[in-house]
Chain A
Amino acid sequence: MKVEELTRIPKVLGAGIATEDGFIIDSQFTVGYDAEKSAAMAARVVSRIKKSLKVDRASTILYTQKNVFFIKEREDAIFFVICQKDANIGLVKIRIDRLT
């Protein structure tokens, strides 16, 4: 349910929830995006941030040349959202914060 709410935002390419070790719990992605790979990437980045910065919960936004990745960790689950660069990043962030 949460995932669907996020993917309704314009220019959001997909969203998912994964376990700490990168296994998909739920996801909804447009064609061409590999949810499993994205979940694994999200878990890897979260793990690195937690280890390096010694934080309990990792939250990050990563801008690549193609897209923007939101990764937010909550209670043994990792939310991740991928959207286009011209999406309303602020709106996506607010929605994620609200849902998590």
Chain B
Amino acid sequence: MPDELTVDSGALIFATLADVYLSSGMVDEAISILKDGLSRNPSYTLAKIILGRAYYMKGDYDEALKILNQTYQDAPESENLNLYLGHCYKKAGKQDEAVKFYKATLKINPQNKEAKQEMEQLDVKAVPEEPVEPEVPAVDETVVQIVEEARAIGEREEPTIVPHVADLEEVRKPEPTVEKPPQPPGPEPVKEEFPVKAPEPIVAAPVAAEPPKKTEPEVIAPVQPAVPHAEEPVPVAPEPTTAGSIPLASLDEPMHRLLKNKTVRGALVCSKDGLPIQSYGEKRTDLDEMSAVIGAIYNEAQDSFTFLKEGDLEKFIIEKGDETLCVITAGDNLLVVITQPETKPGLVFVYARKIIDEIRELLG
């Protein structure tokens, strides 16, 4: 993995984890993580915006305003930054300022429901004068990039932490997005202009029936209408953990053998970035959080060992009161085995060996 990617994933993980915490209402934990992460990566604009949001959720509007205003010059086109600045000014009783930022939010994304509602509440004409294309939620480059990153790990399922992208917006510096070459106009009807089901997140080729003079493709086609906005109900749709999921079916047999062990409660495979890939065994509702947490612990420990020149972290065991977590690295991924406290870790590692080989082969 190139250095810059390592840095980027390390940066991403604390923001992702903080976002999970915020979604769970753990505002103080989120603030703590963000402050810690920002001390190491002070120019990470996205994290600053999430920190501002965290202070807003905590009710510390002055601090939120301070942080968001400081960040504004780095990302004036950020939808969430403008939205939360609007929220903060509204709470501070500065309606004119609030309206200004809500208008800016709607200019960036005319479909932003929160901004629209706030404008309605403030009795201001909300809709910007520009023509608005219907049913087209904006999808930012970052959203696309995150989905791409997850896919790049092995062209497997999409990350189930999709809600995080609500915050992981337009903030990251624009990087070159992979673009499809413009396709020549074809005879296909225009109706499929916005394919709702299609998971292709990157680039929409020019619409078939458009005049041929338009040769440049539209960057970032609106694809997933379910991209959540802040404070909307989060439509988490965990990937099914059925045995036949592609392409991890070959893990089923060794996993089954591992899970036969009475002290093993379950197992999950996640990326080192903390994105869940597949889970097995007992159904839990906290697997997304567990993946993010394990990713965070792994990255923190790995940083420490790099500093100590101890080489890479290969595996670790965490004893945690009611259960023990055995975590084993498998290429760019982690296998987490959740066991009862009285389990025999040696036995878990023996069973895990075969699974690790499979994961390495499948996911790299």
Interface residues of A (CB under 8 A from B): 34, 37-38, 41, 44-45, 48-49, 51-53, 55-56, 58-67, 69, 90
User: How many residue-residue contacts, CB under 8 A, span A and B?
Assistant: 68
Given the contacts A45-B300, A48-B296, A51-B32, A60 and B307 also touching, CB distance less than 8 Å: no
Interface residues of B in 303-356 (CB under 8 A from A): 304-305, 307-308, 310-321, 345-346
A45 touches B301 (CB 8 A): yes
Residue numbers in B under 8 Å from A48 (CB-CB): 296-297, 300-301
Interface residues of B (CB under 8 A from A): 17, 29, 32-33, 293, 296-297, 300-301, 304-305, 307-308, 310-321, 345-346
Residue numbers in A under 8 Å from B307 (CB-CB): 37, 41
Instruction: Add 18 more A-B contacts to A37-B307, A45-B297, A62-B305 (CB < 8 A).
Output: A44-B304, A45-B301, A51-B29, A51-B33, A53-B320, A56-B321, A59-B318, A62-B313, A62-B315, A63-B314, A64-B305, A64-B311, A64-B313, A64-B314, A65-B310, A66-B310, A66-B311, A90-B346
Residue numbers in B under 8 Å from A38 (CB-CB): 308
Given the contacts A38-B308, A41-B304, A48-B296, A55 and B313 also touching, CB distance less than 8 Å: no
B308 touches A37 (CB 8 A): yes
- Least CB distance from A71 to B in Å reads 10
Given the contacts A41-B305, A41-B307, A51-B29, A63 and B313 also touching, CB distance less than 8 Å: yes
From B296, B318, B346, give the contact of A58 (CB < 8 A). Answer: B318
